[in-house]
Amino acid sequence: MHELGIDEALGPMQALASRLWSPQSRHHPGQLAWSARYAEPQVLRHGPVAVVHGRDGLDAWAWLESSDWLELCVDPQRPELVAELVAWARGRTGAGPSTSVLETEHHLLSGLATAGYVETDAPWFTHHTLDLVSLRPPTVPPGYRLRAVRPGEAEARAAVHRDAWSVTSRVTTRAYERLMATPPYRHDLDVVVEHADDGLVASCLAWLDPATGVALVEPVGCVPEHRGRGLAGAVSLAALAAARDAGATLGLVCPRGDDGYPVPGRVYRGLGFRPGPRTLTLAAGDPTA
């Protein structure tokens, strides 16, 4: 086992996530890029990554995204590594940080249970997939147009994200510039809705993993003043269409699935996405109990 910083570890982490990806696995290279880059380093204050090498690259990694949150990715053929990585995280934090896995990642669930982890009541997410062959064309009302983000537009692109999500969003211009420089980001898959008078009003970023052909939609947003006009759905379809033209065969999106935030899931299912497995949040208990 070796310990790395997130900047050094991100590429190998993405490679393992891509190698292991299936509809029953949680991590996608684009999701890792977003998690590592959505704010500036001094704000995110990400912890270290423990990596375990195998014959053909990494077999497992554990990322202390924060002092109380652990991300895990382990080859199902190496389930014994779960305990080793959890022990590392406990030693690094003095306690067991919480984590999240898909309900279909049985090797992780088994290893975490042995380490004393128990399921907790927390918001959960459902992975939805869409065969891009059946993707319908996007449409927007008069006065709006869909287009890709241009190089050099980090300031405006970060601003529309903040306006759509929250004034407390940590997506700054500098953070978005770093994101744009992080694979597998592509300008042609970063799509916005532009209004004739108000500028950028909605956005969708699609992350294409060329090895699997899976395009993850993360994140999508529309500013409050322009909601209710189908723009979030339209910009998602446009980004997925661009990803399909670039070689994607499957769309992936992971909205909240619990009753506390039901609207995005309904929007994506209305676009043709089908729900799959959900996430489970687990907290550390007493491994000797």
Per-residue pLDDT for 154 more than 60? Answer: yes
Q: What is the pLDDT of residues 131-146, one digit of tens each?
A: 999 899 999 999 999 9
| 182 and 222, same domain (yes or no) | yes
| 18 and 105, same domain (yes or no) | yes
| 170 and 261, same domain (yes or no) | yes
| 160 and 135, same domain (yes or no) | yes
| 143 and 165, same domain (yes or no) | yes
Q: Among candidates 48, 33, 25, which has minimal Cα distance to 190?
A: 33
Q: What is the pLDDT of residues 44-75, one digit of tens each?
A: 999 999 999 998 889 999 999 999 999 999 99
Per-residue pLDDT for 167 more than 80? Answer: no
CA 61 from centroid of its chain's CA atoms: 17
Q: How much is the pLDDT for 287?
A: 53
| 179 and 79, same domain (yes or no) | no
Number of compact structural domains in the chain? 2
| 62 and 177, same domain (yes or no) | no
Structural domain boundaries, residue 12: 2-126+279-284
Q: Are strands 117-119 and 98-102 parallel, antiparallel or unpaired?
A: unpaired
**Rounded Cα distance, 250 and 141, in Å:** 27
| 99 and 55, same domain (yes or no) | yes
Mean pLDDT (whole number) for 33-51: 97
Any domain includes 214: yes
pLDDT interval class at 286 (50, 70, 90): low
**Rounded Cα distance, 67 and 62, in Å:** 13
| 24 and 91, same domain (yes or no) | yes
**pTM of the predicted model as reported, rounded to 2 decimal places:** 0.95
